[in-house]
Structure 1
Amino acid sequence: MMTKDQMELVKGTVPVLRQHGVLLTTHFYKRMFEGNPELKNVFNMGNQENNKQQTALAMAVLAYAEHIENPAVLMPVLDGIGQKHISLDIRPEHYLIVGEHLIASIKEVLGDAASAELLEAWTTAYNQLAAIMTGHENHLYVQQISKKGGWSGWRPFVIKEKVVESTEITSFYLYPSHGGMVADFLPGQFLSVRLFLPELNLLQPRQYSISSAPNGEFYRISVKKETASSLTPDGMISNRLHNYVGVGDIIEVSAPAGNFSFSPDKDNPVVFISGGVGQTPLMSMMESLVRIGSKRPRTWIHGCRDKNVHAFKEVIENWTGQNDDIKKHIFYADLDGERITKNEYEGWVDLNVIDSDLITPQTEYYICGPAGFIETHYRQLLLMGVKKELIHFEEFGPQTLNLN
């Protein structure tokens, strides 16, 4: 239990964490991977290279220090972290390793400013956080294995179908190799896939949203191929799936997780706003509503570079053609002279050009896409009078957006 003096010592580091938090977390990860290189098989090394993981951890440590007297207010954030952890099979022993390197990093980065009392305070604070997280994650693991067809950790799945959806996106239909049923999930959740990368000589996990509705038989993930000339670790798993993994192959998969989800049973209007491959969790949500014959008013707003990269175009057209309750608005950044039809637009997604009935007091909004895309449309909805509690968003990768 932390004393009041220890809480004050931790709170006293807030200005340093605001200014130098990423420096601390960068030092921490470098130290940890040198001391425990086996953890490179657990962490997404792409997020290490692009600095997202260091930034996300710095933000989390800062938030914890700011709310050290009442960490319970951070539970929505901690739940998001916990959901990612269970998808990566993080266990209590990992917290012991992280704690050792984090406290040592604080001492090494702060130097003479890291008094024995401060280090003891941060050790107590970290142990408190680790107890909260391991307790919460244990609860999540129990929820996973309690489901029919559920499991925790990694399980082999066979790819039974590989379907090209566009010039960039391909879908993979994953069935459990044991032939049984798959655990149910909430529309919008993700699962982790783990492959061996010869380029890095490492096992590497990546999260992919489930792009199909719950069905008891399979999961579908829809993966964007990366086309950069110098590929970073961040795109290596996606491209390995595209180039080397085929029908009949076995891959390791963790159970569905994530807190970006919704209940199909409501009847208030819902608007889905996506950019590029960000439509994948929203496809699961929309398909779930279609499957149960929902009469809930739905609006599908999607933006992508051009018609060639537009995945699931025919599926959406089919749904809108058969359901009067579904409207669609599609934006193409580059049409290259191609003709557009009704409810298609040239340019980036712009909510201002869509019918005024997009905004009602009960409507919920789900946004997914690149960080800048999410922030733009989150701010726009607020300006249009939408209450922030009605806006839900998913940022792929480590959480660095702080919009609430």
Structure 2
Amino acid sequence: MLSQKTIDTVKATVPVLEVKGVEITTRFYAMLFEAHPELLNIFNHANQKQGRQQTALANTVYAAAVHIDQLEAIIPAVKKIAHKHRSLGVLPEHYPIVGEYLLKAIKDVLGDAATDDILNAWGEAYGVIADAFISIEKDMYDEASSIEGGWEGFKDFTIAKKEKESSLITSFYLKPVDSENLPEFMPGQYVTVRTQIPGDEYMLNRQYSLSTSYTPDYYRISVKKEAEMDPNGRVSTFLHEELTEGDTLELSVPVGDFFCNIHENQPLTLISGGVGITPMYTMLKSIAEKNTERPVTFIHAARNQDVRAFGEDVQETVSKLTNGKSYIVYEQEGLDGDFTGFINAEVLKQAANLDGDFFVCGPVPFMEAVIQSLTAIGIPAERINFEFFGPAMAIKTEQNE
């Protein structure tokens, strides 16, 4: 339990964190990696270069300060981040290191304004928050290693097959080198892929949704090739252009809190944009195999036919459902789609099943627009589920908006 003095001191830093948060976290990562470069084997270098990791941590620190007297309010955000940490191999021994350099960064950025009282209060608060992460992540690690077919850390997989799905997306069928049966996963979950690119000093990690229903023999991921000059494109280009069938990658046990219970019966609408189709197709296929009576509507947005993935697969899978529907929305005009332009409130009113739950996945602007449209037509927030591809962000609340 935190003392009232600690709570009051931490809360008093909220205004400065709102202004200086990203500066503090940017300084933190610079100091951390200078002292502990081995941690670059864990962190996503692309997110670092784009500033996304710094912003995500700043949001988390800010949310922790706002809710320091009711930390249970940030537990959902903690759990989401913990899924990422478990998939990357963040361990209890990393937390004291992070705490040390976070306090050093606060002192470095704020100077004399970071009094001993403030640093001591944040040190105490960080200890409580770190303990929450460690406890939640321990349960996740225990589950990953104890479930049937599970393992600790990373495991070697062979690329059994590469299959082009569109001009941008290629599927990789990954079989465990040890030929053991793989653990089941919830449709919508992801794995971390870890690889060493020749010439690079550190391992690179990327998280990819599993893109088909469970089989014990292999996992499938479907990767969009990003522009090579884009920081996100380094690994995807390596996968697309350099790795071939027979090469190996390391994978973590599937994890993630964005998934659907395929055995429920309420109507479901799956909405995806671009490569966001990967977890959605897994949900669709899993339901078609186990619960064909469930009403499912599948809505996908793509720029054109050339970049659209899984078109025939979606149609074939939907046909196995008693009450399944699918719609394609092409951004470009003159194509043979169900709608032209973007997924908006009018499209959703015509295509979606407004009585059920919604899952949304795709680029951030796409998700923001879809969620705003769903809200505009009266869908309550508790029926809207979404997945953000990138660092786990602290969820905004009425108190910190």
TM-score of Structure 1 vs Structure 2, range by shorter chain: over 0.9
Separation (CA, whole Å) in 1 of partners of 2:48 and 2:371? 27
- SS state of the match for residue 297, structure 2? strand
* One-letter amino acid matched to 1:224: K
In structure 2, the gaps of 5 or more residues are: none
Aligned partner of 2:372 in structure 1 is 379
How far has the Cα of 1:168 moved from its partner? 0.5
State which of 316, 320, 335 in structure 2 corresponds to 1:318. Answer: 316
Separation (CA, whole Å) in 1 of partners of 2:295 and 2:46? 39
* One-letter amino acid matched to 1:295: E
Q: Is residue 2:146 matched to residue 1:152?
A: no
Aligned partner of 1:193 in structure 2 is 193
CA RMSD of aligned residues (A): 1.5
Change (3 A) 1:301 1:351: farther
Query: Identity across aligned pairs (percent)?
Result: 39
- SS state of the match for residue 121, structure 1? helix
Listed as ranges, the matches of 1:180-329 within 5 Å are: 180-198=180-198, 200-227=200-227, 230-232=229-231, 234-329=232-327
Aligned partner of 2:48 in structure 1 is 48
Q: Which deviates the most, 28-37 or 393-402? A: 393-402
Listed as ranges, the matches of 1:118-157 within 5 Å are: 118-157=118-157
* One-letter amino acid matched to 1:371: V
Aligned partner of 2:18 in structure 1 is 18
Deviations, residues 231-269 of structure 1 (Å, cap 9, x unaligned): 32x211111110111111111111101100110010000
Contact kept, 8 Å, 2:176 with 2:218, in 1: the verdict is yes
Separation (CA, whole Å) in 1 of partners of 2:318 and 2:260? 21
Deviations, residues 300-332 of structure 1 (Å, cap 9, x unaligned): 111111101100001012123343411111011
Separation (CA, whole Å) in 2 of partners of 1:96 and 1:159? 37
How far has the Cα of 1:350 moved from its partner? 2.7
Separation (CA, whole Å) in 2 of partners of 1:139 and 1:324? 39
Contact kept, 8 Å, 1:189 with 1:260, in 2: the verdict is yes
How far has the Cα of 1:293 moved from its partner? 4.1
Change (3 A) 1:277 1:401: farther
Contact kept, 8 Å, 1:188 with 1:285, in 2: the verdict is yes
Separation (CA, whole Å) in 1 of partners of 2:175 and 2:342? 37
Aligned partner of 1:389 in structure 2 is 382
Separation (CA, whole Å) in 2 of partners of 1:307 and 1:166? 8
Please, what TM-score do these two structures have when normalized by structure 1?
Answer: 0.95
State which of 344, 347, 350 in structure 2 corresponds to 1:350. Answer: 344
How far has the Cα of 1:194 moved from its partner? 0.6
Contact kept, 8 Å, 1:300 with 1:329, in 2: the verdict is yes
Separation (CA, whole Å) in 2 of partners of 1:373 and 1:355? 17
Listed as ranges, the matches of 1:361-380 within 5 Å are: 361=355, 363-380=356-373
- SS state of the match for residue 309, structure 1? coil
Change (3 A) 1:96 1:403: closer
Deviations, residues 89-135 of structure 1 (Å, cap 9, x unaligned): 11011111111100111111111111111111111111111111101
Contact kept, 8 Å, 1:52 with 1:400, in 2: the verdict is no
- SS state of the match for residue 197, structure 1? coil
How far has the Cα of 1:360 moved from its partner? 3.4
* One-letter amino acid matched to 1:48: Q
Change (3 A) 1:141 1:85: same
Please, what TM-score do these two structures have when normalized by structure 2?
Answer: 0.96
Contact kept, 8 Å, 2:371 with 2:384, in 1: the verdict is yes
How far has the Cα of 1:357 moved from its partner? 6.8
Separation (CA, whole Å) in 1 of partners of 2:199 and 2:129? 36
Aligned partner of 1:90 in structure 2 is 90
Separation (CA, whole Å) in 2 of partners of 1:56 and 1:15? 17
How far has the Cα of 1:354 moved from its partner? 4.6
Separation (CA, whole Å) in 1 of partners of 2:68 and 2:160? 49
Deviations, residues 55-107 of structure 1 (Å, cap 9, x unaligned): 10000000011111121221111000000000001101111111110011111
Contact kept, 8 Å, 2:262 with 2:291, in 1: the verdict is no
